[in-house]
Amino acid sequence: MEDHTNLIEELIEKASDYGKTSFELAKLRALEKTSQLISSLLSNAVVLIIISLFMLFLNLGLAIWIGQRLGEIYFGFFVVAGFYGFISILVCSFWRKWIKRKVGDSFIKQVLQ
């Protein structure tokens, strides 16, 4: 009878150790996924900031250049703003669902990777 009690205690101890190990493994996997996601988001954010600054200065220069060609600087800003207004109407009308799906798929792919 004592053998059965020792076997049961041993089995319970091993099951407890297995549960703790499984929990630690799940925590480490979650930590790995989180760190991959954050590092990916951070690197994409840096690239986005650099591209945004490039586009900002490019658009400022373009607006000033167009304004000088039209005779008044602010005309150039109106032209550039009108261009972006037209582009935003196109994006909202035609590509909104496509962009939303692509961004969602990319996010899910990063999480499940």
Per-residue model confidence (pLDDT) at position 49: 96
Buried b (16+ CB within 10 A) or exposed e, 82-103: eeeeeeeeeeeeeeeeeeeeee
Beta-carbon neighbour count of residue 63 at 10 Å?
Answer: 20
Res 113 pLDDT > 70: no
Per-residue model confidence (pLDDT) at position 2: 66
Of the two residues 15 and 2, the one the predictor is more confident about is: 15
- DSSP state for residue 113 in the 8-state scheme: -
pLDDT in tens, 18-74: 889 999 999 988 888 888 888 888 888 999 999 999 999 999 999 999 999 999 999
Q: Kindly state the helix (H) or strand (E) to which residue 103 belongs, with its residue range.
A: helix 96-112
Per-residue model confidence (pLDDT) at position 36: 82
Q: Say if residues 91 and 21 touch (Cβ distance below 8 Å).
A: no
Per-residue model confidence (pLDDT) at position 1: 58
